[in-house]
Amino acid sequence: MRLRAATMIRLYPRAWRARYGEEFLAILGDDDLTVQQLIDVVSGAIDARLSSDVQHAVGVGATQGGSTMLQSLLAGEKNSMRATKRDGLIGAAVMIGTSLLFSVLGGAAKRGGWLPPTMVESLLAMAFPAALTLSMPFWLMKGQPWKAQAMIVGGTLAMLLAIGWLRSAR
């Protein structure tokens, strides 16, 4: 796979890269990443953007007692995302709207018998994580390079799709 650590590290927040970037690259070296490493690096990037613990360690957006994503979203607190309260509300609307859409589609497919029951079950189970992922560019990843946004959102949706497919194939 022609992806190298120096490319993938762009998925991580700037403050994280400033704190751990050099060490991280020293571990991975200049070789192409394996699939296993790629999954680990993408998961780590998502965690670095979502975890208040990690943000605290790198000195970004630390709040007493830890902040939840929802608190960050509504407060529009200082963070690498540079999101305003309005962005937060748009993100919340996208998340709720998409989640409802998936649920309605799942319910309709169940009643209409368009899809196998296991696939409908998977669709309903994936509704919220998929909606959360789709809402991220509007608030959590606002201001980040579009390539990083596309890779995180696309990668997460691909993983959700794979998990859903595996669940329904069982």
Look up tokens 């995302």; give the residue: 81
Three-state SS for 140?
A: coil
Segment (H or E) for 141: none
Residue with smaller CB distance to another protein, 40 or 86: 40
User: Does position 163 bind another protein by CB under 8 A?
Assistant: no
Identify whether the C-beta of residue 21 lies closer than 8 Å to the C-beta of residue 6: no
Question: Of residues 66, 117, 143, 154, which one binds another protein by CB under 8 A?
Answer: 66
Q: Which of 1, 2, 30, 64 touches another protein by CB under 8 A?
A: 64
- The nearer residue to another protein, 43 or 68, going by C-beta atoms, is 43
Closer residue to another protein in complex, CB, 26/169: 26
Identify which of 7, 68, 75 has the alpha carbon closest to the alpha carbon of residue 38.
7
Q: Which of 72, 43, 39, 67 is nearest to 142 (CA)?
A: 72
Please report whether residue 28 would count as binding another protein according to CB under 8 A.
yes
Q: What is the contact surface with another protein in residues (CB under 8 A)?
A: 5, 20, 22-28, 36-37, 39-45, 47-48, 51, 53-54, 56-58, 62, 64-66
